[in-house]
Amino acid sequence: MPRIKVLVFSLILLLSANAMFAQLDQLMPVPKVVKPGTGKFRVTAKFVASIREKTPTRADDGVRRFLQRLDGRTGLNIPDFPNTISFPVDGLNVLIDHPGELKLHEDESYILVITPSRMMLEAVTDIGALRGMETVLQLLSVDGEGFYFPACRIEDAPRFPWRGLLIDVCRHWQPMDVIKRNLDGMAAMKLNVFHWHLSEDQGFRIESKKFPRLHQMGSNGDYFTQEQVKEVIAYADARGIRVVPEFDIPGHSTAWFVGHPELASAPGPYAIEKKFGVFDPAMNPANETTYKFLDEFLTEMCALFPDEYFHIGGDENEGKQWEKNAEVNQLKKDKGLADNHAVQAYFNQRLLEILTENRKRMVGWDEILQPSMPTNIVIQSWRGKEALIKAANAGYDVMLSSGYYIDLCQSASFHYGHDPLPADVVLDAKAKAHVLGGEATMWAELVSPETIDSRIWPRTCAIAERLWSPAEVKDVADMYRRLAKVSLNLEELGLTHLRYAEVLMRRALAGETTGPLRTLCAVIGPLQGYKRHGQGIAYSTETPLTRLPDMCVPDPELPREFGRAVDEFLAKSDPIQGMVVKNWLDVFRNNHKELENQAANAPAIRPMLPISQQLQDLSTVGIGLLDMLEKGQSDAARKDQYRLTIEKARTPVQECEIQIVDAVAKIWDKGK
């Protein structure tokens, strides 16, 4: 089959799979209880929505946005909200008991009943109603007669109360539109905490009116004004999302010292850090002026951010400056502080006094878990699950980020497999109640505003489901089926995770068509973990993020589809699946020549040719193996040669790796 036909054929398979399930089993996160009803509620141009509530709530604006999105999907030109004064109506009816507060443990439950004549969405709070409206939108289905919502009864509430996404706006600056569109994505996935990582070695990203040298000298001009911060908080509030700011201290703080070297534990001058890693500069815990400064600064910030929780970082302070600082060594002696951990605990206690004075609860990375700290702080477990267990047992509230590092480009199934409270967890009921949930972390060493969405979405949907849905919801294949569908829906919110790649490709191709590069990118992924840093390029904040690993996505869909076809072929010797596998391999094999031709006029893609060549070689081997299987041949020498080619295809090129190597290796194994 020619290449285009194969791709169209694959696309039709994918789309028909989506259409087939365009019913109750397309929801993500999966609700607590879903009971199918009989019939369909038809969506027409006369669609109306009505709210019953005692006072205006977030739901009014929520229904307006709901109708806009429904309109955008159906093209029916539905009247804007409010479009009726009656209640109930033969449309969407929202019943709310009272406005919710943006606080931990707020009620987010809802009950949705859809019949062929009307839809009732009942919630204790407006926040629950917002969650319910996202479910309704996901239920939108289509058949020969048009759009409809399937009749059903859904009872839903989250499993965990803290379901967050961290965005680091420091390593690479991420402006307002990135934040807003990702807040919309969070709301669509029922996430409820935006953790805003605002200060780092590489940038101090918020205006301080008290200490303007912080943002003026620590940001290269890229920072959020306080007006913008208020705008983000209001935007998040409207979507039922809390905003928890993080000021990462005493380490990760070089950018503070550019304007305020007196805060550091070694003399300046300091410059904004351009490289990535763990650096020595740390605040001086032995100088009272540090605490006076922090008191004034944190008091300013505590007033700006209404949330009860406030994150002080606390991670990766190696204390190198402290070792050499006479004042810190004197402090150790005076206070009987045995080591740097004890010094940091002392520092944290001083911060705690300031936060408590401002009626805030402290959150920090798991390094702040020190015996001397009171149990009313919250621990964010990132170095492994041990800290979560230890903290919960010791009576601390805790949430999980280990396993949810989305910057590491691991698969959605990897993240999905990490549960804050897995079935085999050894914690008693009291300790379990301290496990609040978790947060996906979007660290920004290797993302620009152009690429960041592709590192957050759609994989964060799998984490959102882990944190919202009942623990029993863990079928990986089913998760991927629904993920493909919700990923498309996220585009309507302005998220660029699917379309951004074409933009990067067009730029790299300098006028050539994107087809061959798109095919290459469909079967490769960026190196996972921290490996991308060790491949020769010394990344800094100034390195362009427009190369091959930026234009391909983590956990691409095609290798998974290919792997499934290979598995089915091998399990059942199914000739149709054999043909699908062979056609794909044929496409990959022939792609190289086309890319090579394009490279003549597009120098930026020349470094990509070696991995394209590897893909060609691997595909040629795959086709050879299929032929051998078909003909029942055995040729030990040829197979040895094939094995070498398969192993060579695992070599990373341009910080990317081919993601169909294991599947081809399985075909090799079959013919052993």
- How would DSSP label each residue in 568-629? HHHHH--HHHHHHHHHHHHHHHHHHHHHHHHHTT-GGGGGGHHHHHHHHHHHHHHHHHHHHH
In the complex, least distance from residue 349 CB atom to ligand ACM, rounded to whole angstroms: 21
CB atoms within 10 A of CB 541: 19
DSSP state of 275: B
In the complex, least distance from residue 216 CB atom to ligand ACM, rounded to whole angstroms: 26
Please give the size of the binding site for ligand ACM, defined by CB under 6 A. Answer: 4
- Return all residues near 63 (Cβ < 8 A) that are at least 6 apart: 49, 51, 81, 92, 94, 133
CA distances from 610 to 514, 532, 535, 564, 606 (A): 18, 17, 15, 27, 8
Give 3-state DSSP helix, strand, coil % of the chain, rounded to 5. Answer: 45, 15, 35
From 220, 276, 283, select the one nearest 248 (Cα to Cα): 283
Q: Is 382 in the site for ligand ACM (CB under 6 A)?
A: yes
Q: Which is nearer to ligand ACM, 322 or 382 (CB)?
A: 382
Q: Is 492 in the site for ligand ACM (CB under 6 A)?
A: no
Catalytic-labelled residue, pool 316, 492, 568, 596: 316
Give the CA radius of gyration of the chain: 27
Residue 628 in tokens: 């051998």
From 161, 60, 57, select the one nearest 99 (Cα to Cα): 57
From 468, 546, 464, select the one nearest 502 (Cα to Cα): 546
Q: Which is nearer to ligand ACM, 107 or 315 (CB)?
A: 315
- Show the site string, 329-368: x = touches ligand ACM by CB under 6 A, - = not: ------------------------------------x---
In the complex, least distance from residue 314 CB atom to ligand ACM, rounded to whole angstroms: 9
Q: Which is nearer to ligand ACM, 51 or 362 (CB)?
A: 362
Q: Which is nearer to ligand ACM, 100 or 164 (CB)?
A: 164
Q: Which is nearer to ligand ACM, 168 or 207 (CB)?
A: 168
* Cα separation, 508 vs 69, whole angstroms: 34
Q: Which is nearer to ligand ACM, 332 or 455 (CB)?
A: 455
DSSP state of 209: S
Residue 356 in tokens: 């408590």
Q: Which is nearer to ligand ACM, 293 or 365 (CB)?
A: 365
337 within 8 A of 343, measured Cβ to Cβ? yes
**Shortest-Cβ-distance residue relative to ligand ACM:** 315
CA atoms within 13 A on the CB side of 542: 5
CB atoms within 10 A of CB 16: 10
DSSP state of 456: H
Is 316 catalytic? The answer is yes
Q: Which is nearer to ligand ACM, 405 or 562 (CB)?
A: 405
Torsion angles phi and psi, residue 410, rounded to 5: -85, 175
Q: Is 316 in the site for ligand ACM (CB under 6 A)?
A: yes
Residue with the two structure tokens 């050879």: 624
Which one among 60, 97, 295, 315 touches ligand ACM, defined by CB under 6 A? 315
- For ligand ACM, the binding residues (CB under 6 A) are 315-316, 365, 382
Catalytic (active-site) positions: 316
